Amino acid sequence: MGKTDLSKYNNSWYKPGSKLKIILWYILSRVFIDTSIPFPYSLKRSILRLFGAKVGKRVVFKQRVIIKYPWFLTVGDETWIGENVWIDNLTDVTVGKNCCLSQGSMLLTGNHDYKKSTFDLILKPIILEDGSWIGAKATVCPGVTIHSHAVLSVGSVATTDLKSSTIYQGNPAVNKTQRLIN
């Protein structure tokens, strides 16, 4: 049986941006985005756009939102991103229009290959289609698509794609019922 050997871990192939860009983003995000100070949403949207994020109209970014690399982020119009949301976007995250990421939810685009002794980094994009809702403290794993108007319930973990207009719950999340919108 093999063993993990982290001394051989090497992700030197992964270059998300220049060191200067990453440092500037880290500083500005700590001051304006990942903060308890309720800066205007328009200011937060402008800073994110300055760093390459594609952010739609009237997007709400509440306090203490963590975004790893805004240049890998696309957010559609009228979307709400709640307190303490963590978007760990080592690669592309696309959030559609009229979506809700409730407080404490997490979008994780990276993982490690547990089958390799070198624990190689694996990156897969996440897509949240229009009208989808990620409940409080819920987690979306790498490579998952949350289809239009699907709901991932509070504290649940999406490890596979969620069907449109369906409510999922649990770890791993399973289909519970249809989402009916009046």
Instruction: Write the pLDDT tens digit of every residue in 13-26.
Output: 999 999 999 999 99
User: Domains of the chain (ranges plus CATH)?
Assistant: 18-170 (2.160.10.10)
Is pLDDT above 90 for 76?
A: yes
Separation CA 126–CA 74 (nearest Å): 11
**Bridge partners for 166 per DSSP:** 178
3-state percent breakdown (helix, strand, coil) of the chain, nearest 5: 15, 30, 55
**121 dihedral zone (left: phi>0; alpha: psi -120 to 50; beta):** beta
- Quote the pLDDT of residue 1: 81
- Quote the pLDDT of residue 151: 98
**Bridge partners for 101 per DSSP:** 81, 134
DSSP classification of residue 7 = G
> Are 58 and 77 spatial neighbours (Cβ–Cβ below 8 Å)?
yes
DSSP classification of residue 94 = E
The C-alpha torsion from 4 through 106 and 108 to 100, rounded to 10°, is 160
pLDDT, tens digit, 9 for 90 and up, residues 77-101: 999 999 999 999 999 999 999 999 9
pLDDT, tens digit, 9 for 90 and up, residues 138-159: 999 999 999 999 999 999 999 9
Q: Look at residues 44, 73, 38 and name the one whose alpha carbon lies nearest to residue 58.
A: 44
Six token digits for residue 117: 């002794």
Q: What predicted TM-score, i.e. pTM, was given to this entire model?
A: 0.96
Is pLDDT above 90 for 4?
A: yes
- How does 1-29 read in b/e, with b if 16+ C-beta sit within 10 Å? eeeeeeeeeeeeeeeebeeeeeeebeebb
Separation CA 56–CA 53 (nearest Å): 10
Six token digits for residue 139: 């987690």
Upstream peptide bond of 40 is cis (omega within 30 degrees of 0): no
